[in-house]
Structure 1
Amino acid sequence: MNGAKLAYRPIGLASGVLGGVVAGAIVKRVWKKVSGEDDAPSALQGEYPWKEVLLAAALQGMVFAVVKAAADRGGAVAFQRLTGYWPGD
């Protein structure tokens, strides 16, 4: 079983990177629809009010967490189908 976890590492890493790219694109599209601006504000951009900065951070956190969970789970399911082993146990 330890071999399965080790073999899964590159798949998990690749799905995490791909998930980050997808999540970034989703956040950008949602933020543009919500605010009309291309990019969400960061905490260090002083021209934005607290409310807007915190809303942007909450949106980013939610989207990244959901996409990461979907990518991790999808990668694990695909790995199990290919090898017969579940990589997370």
Structure 2
Amino acid sequence: MTRQISKANYKPIGIVLGLAAGTLSGMVFQRIWAMSMRSAAPHPIDEDRGWGEVLLAAALQGAIVAMIRASIDRAGATGVRKFTGHWPHD
């Protein structure tokens, strides 16, 4: 009998990793923005910030979130494979 991990069994691990990814990506984005722009990141409804700055911040934040989320998800799946010998799948 093989010890395969289904998506349903992996889901709790994925949720915890997703929360960690969200927290980490928010911190990384804030630090990168502060280092490069010398100010806090703009909020979309901040009246004193222009469209370009708001959209640049959104694009950068989206890229950082996607990269960190994919990295953490991949590391989680790799960890499951090392622990069980099988990649989590359907």
Q: What's the TM-score once normalised by structure 1's chain length?
A: 0.88
Higher share of residues assigned helix = 1
Structure 1 residue ranges (4+ consecutive) displaced by more than 6 angstroms after TM superposition: none
Q: Relative contact order (C-alpha < 8 Å, sep 6+): which is higher? A: 2
- 2:67 pairs with 1:33: no
**1:40-55 correspondence to structure 2 within 5 Å:** 40-55=41-56
Determine the structure 2 residue equivalent to 1:66.
Answer: 67
Residues 73 and 64 (structure 1), Cα distance of their counterparts in 2 relative to 1, 3 Å cut: same
Report the number of matched residues. Answer: 88
Residues 71 and 17 (structure 1), Cα distance of their counterparts in 2 relative to 1, 3 Å cut: same
Kindly, what percent of the aligned residue pairs are identical? 39
Q: Is the 8 A contact 2:81 2:88 kept in 1?
A: yes
RMSD: 1.7
User: Any stretches of 5+ residues in structure 2 without a counterpart?
Assistant: none
Deviation string, structure 1 residues 13-60 (Cα, Å, up to 9, x no partner): 1111001111011001001011111x3112111110111001100110
Q: Is the 8 A contact 1:43 1:53 kept in 2?
A: yes
